[in-house]
Amino acid sequence: MSDVFYNNSIIQIIAFASKRLESISATPVLDAEILMAHALGIDRHKLVLYHNTLVDKKTLTKFKRLLSRRLKSEPIAYIVGYKEFYSLPLKVNRHVLIPRPETELLVDCAIYHARQRATILDIGTGSGAIAIAIKYNRPDCSVWATDISKDALKVAKHNAGTILGKHLIKFLHSNLFESIPTMTFDVIVSNPPYINPNIYTQLQKDIHYEPKEALLAPDNGFGIIKSLIEKANNYLSDNGTIIIEIGEDLSSRIQIFAPLFNFSISILKDYSGLPRIAIFKKIKNITI
């Protein structure tokens, strides 16, 4: 790193770092502020109190190390070790997908569709973001969460214990429904892998740091969602709902496929106007 960082104030160092980050980040100033706050061990909003303070050598060395990682396109969340989701601070590492703001819409839908004291299943929980946010906001509900990755479940259990307290969510090591006991759920939610492997190399470099198994799905991204739809009826209560985050290119396939398994389907758009959340409701059989 250049000596330009030495003997400068926090605000000057952030400005220098932001300039370097412009080539790899859409939010260079925010990134630089988050890294500086992390190096100082303070909340980002407190930086304004120390703008003109000179940075000591130890802190500067730590900041430069963090900045070096970000300049290699490593996601900010992995560098600082946490990500805020639904106003909750979640530990994250390379074993789990980084929670995205658009996934908060899935939580909104789950909270809305869950009746009082509902039983809810989160498939592919990763960091536990969805399950924890639901339980935090709907403590009346019984929440189960699964993941195929044991390493991911360790992160999810840590987050649940820190935010909610131990044993308030039932975690299971499972590939989709494989290890789920014989029971039904009122709401099943999932943010499954849905990226087409054929476009993986075209994705932003920072996404390549995240676990492939949490991103990519066969059949042009439809494979995991297809399995969820095919098997969900065995685990869904009569008035149950399935809520799945989807890729914007999968909307038409889902609308064709869902009725084959006795589901009506609604597609909600995210805040960018893209198809993002698929809501499946069982079609009631009418007897005459």
The pLDDT-based confidence of 283 (bands split at 50, 70, 90) is confident
How many residues are recorded in the chain?
A: 288
Tell the burial category of 177 from Cβ atoms under 10 Å away from its Cβ (0-12, 13-18, 19+). Answer: middle
Of residues 253 and 282, more confidence is placed in 253
What is the tens place of the pLDDT at every residue in 233-244? 999 999 899 999
Report pLDDT for 285.
Answer: 63
Res 270 pLDDT > 80: yes
Cβ contact 184:240 at 8 Å: yes
How many Cα atoms occupy the beta-carbon half-sphere of 158 within 13 Å?
Answer: 16
What is the tens place of the pLDDT at every residue in 115-167? 999 999 999 999 999 999 999 999 999 999 999 999 999 999 999 999 999 89
The domain made up of 3-72 is a member of CATH 1.10.10.10: no
The mean pLDDT of 6-17, rounded to a whole number, is: 90
Architecture of domain 86-282: 3-Layer(aba) Sandwich (3.40)
Res 1 pLDDT > 60: no
The mean pLDDT of 6-25, rounded to a whole number, is: 92
Q: What is the pTM of this model?
A: 0.93
Report pLDDT for 8.
Answer: 86
Domain ranges of the chain: 3-72, 86-282
Three-point CA angle 89, 122, 137, nearest 5°? 50
